[in-house]
Amino acid sequence: MNIGAWVVLAARNLLRNRRRSIVAGLAILLGVLAVTTLRGMLNGVQRSLKMEAITGQVGALQVHKTGWMAQIFGAPIDLDFPVDTAMLTRIEAVDNVRAAAPRIPFAGLVSSGDTTTFAMLTALDPERETKVCPARPERLTSGRLPSDKEPDGLVLSAELARRIGARLAKGDAGRVAILSNDRDGSLNALDTQLIGLNGLPRSPGLETRLGLLTLAKAQELLRMPGKATEIAISVNDLGDIEGTRQRLQAALGSGFEVSIWSELAKVVADAIAIQDKVLGVIMAVMLVVALLGVVNTLLMSVLERTREIGLLLALGLRRSQIVGLFVLESILLAVAASVPGLLGAGLTLIVLARVDVTFQAPGGGMLHIQPELFMSDVAIVLGAVWLGAVLAALLPARRASLLRPVQALAAV
């Protein structure tokens, strides 16, 4: 028998008990539909988290003095360096670099009235920052970002402002003092005006301690004229981020270190990794449950076709061919069920993509979820289902192949 005849025979065997085959096929179809749709939605969530971190916070890459990343949580200001137009132009001349913006992240105290609390502040160049992180305004829940027109403007998280009793208001109610040690350890103070809020009140986490001000004001406070401690960089093609890092490193020399966004936004990168692991577990459970129906269908088929199997063996069919027949039946069932499930998931994701699904992250920023499905995702789902179908068929197929022709023909 050629392969075509085997396929026809396997299809006929599946259609003998259509109800049982349909039930097993529906289990596979729904499993593929659920897993693929979930993967597509999760891809959208992960892309949104990634882009929010890149375009709203850290940039695609950052440049620091060598050793800064080892002390990242302390935001050291002693590892500073002069930043001028020539240096920024040299960075922007590197292939794939779109824009560069100097910054100074530093720790300090913010005070309003009689209340003072700790804060992690970031000083930005207003004009250049919008080219590197264009989504920063979306992180605001009210107000506006500091600009050259409001050089003493300050943005705080809503929870931080609540703790110190500061409000978006003119006059003393909106005045916030910033205290911090300069590079030499001397304590300095700066008077600012609260002009923007981000995040949600009473939300937990480090995001509730963050604030933004202009680079010029921070340089005045920290006594670092013309200097910065980091340069955030945007790129044209994120797919070439590693190559861009290498080219930047070569252009800047060993005195600097270049980091990519996943090293800077570890929380986001770790969250994406955890999501992938959880989805893998969910996918495995769903597929196991679905393939149990295949095992049940084939085992029942062995019991019902005992005499037929005995006759085939008596006519000279090899035991390996009996195994192959049952495996082929399982594969046909998996293919017939998984393809419609995949198409259904694709249509579902297309509908969801037309809807602008958004939600606000606790630390501020709007996440726009646009589902997307990659060919690698499709290959993994189909490969897992079809391989699972082969494995699910082995037990029933082995049982069928071990039947003795005489006993099988004598079975009632």
Instruction: Let me know whether 236 and 299 are in one domain.
Output: no
In a domain, 58, yes or no: no
What pLDDT is recorded for position 232? Answer: 96
Cα within 13 Å of Cα(67), Cβ side: 7
In a domain, 262, yes or no: no
- Which of 100, 108, 109, 106 has its CA nearest to residue 72? 106
Q: What confidence category does residue 250 fall into, taking pLDDT thresholds of 50, 70 and 90?
A: very high
Structure token pair of residue 168? 């978006």
Is residue 178 helix, strand or coil?
Answer: strand
What's the chain's average pLDDT?
A: 85
Which residue among 253, 281, 310 closes a domain? 253
pLDDT over 90 (residue 284): no
What pLDDT is recorded for position 405? Answer: 65
Let me know if 54 is exposed, middle or buried by CB neighbors in 10 A (0-12, 13-18, 19+): buried
Task: Choose the weakest-confidence range: 56-65, 104-113, 274-283, 339-348.
Answer: 274-283
pLDDT over 50 (residue 331): yes
Structure token pair of residue 243? 């190559």
Which residue among 202, 227, 253 closes a domain? 253
> For the whole model, what pTM was predicted?
0.78
Instruction: Let me know whether 301 and 406 are in one domain.
Output: yes
- The single-letter code of the amino acid at 412 is V
Instruction: Let me know whether 247 and 108 are in one domain.
Output: yes
In this prediction, residues 235-253 reach a mean pLDDT of: 94
In this prediction, residues 274-284 reach a mean pLDDT of: 87
In a domain, 60, yes or no: no
Domain that holds residue 289: 3-52+269-410
In a domain, 259, yes or no: no
Instruction: Let me know whether 116 and 148 are in one domain.
Output: yes
- Structure confidence by residue, pLDDT tens digits, 106-124: 999 999 988 999 999 999 9
User: Does residue 93 contact residue 130 with C-beta atoms inside 8 Å?
Assistant: no
Rounded (to 5) percent helix, strand, coil in the chain:
60, 20, 20
- Structure confidence by residue, pLDDT tens digits, 140-182: 888 999 998 888 999 998 889 988 989 888 877 789 999 999 8
| Rg, C-alpha atoms of the chain | 31
pLDDT over 60 (residue 200): no
- Structure confidence by residue, pLDDT tens digits, 359-401: 666 555 566 788 888 999 899 988 888 888 888 777 777 776 6
Please give the Cα distance from 49 to 57 (Å, whole number).
11
Instruction: Let me know whether 304 and 244 are in one domain.
Output: no
Who's near 174: CB < 8 A, 6+ residues apart? Answer: 166, 167, 168, 193, 194, 195
Instruction: Let me know whether 343 and 212 are in one domain.
Output: no
Share of the chain above pLDDT 70, in %: 88
How many other CB atoms are there within 10 angstroms of residue 384's CB atom?
20
Strands 210-214 and 227-228: unpaired
Instruction: Let me know whether 294 and 242 are in one domain.
Output: no
Instruction: Let me know whether 356 and 214 are in one domain.
Output: no
What pLDDT is recorded for position 75? Answer: 77
What pLDDT is recorded for position 412? Answer: 47
- To 10 degrees, what angle do helices 375-401 and 18-53 make? 150
- Structure confidence by residue, pLDDT tens digits, 10-39: 788 777 778 888 888 888 898 899 999 999
Domain count of the chain?
Answer: 2
Instruction: Let me know whether 280 and 320 are in one domain.
Output: yes
In a domain, 264, yes or no: no
In this prediction, residues 205-209 reach a mean pLDDT of: 67
Structure token pair of residue 164? 């110190």
User: Does residue 249 contact residue 66 with C-beta atoms inside 8 Å?
Assistant: no
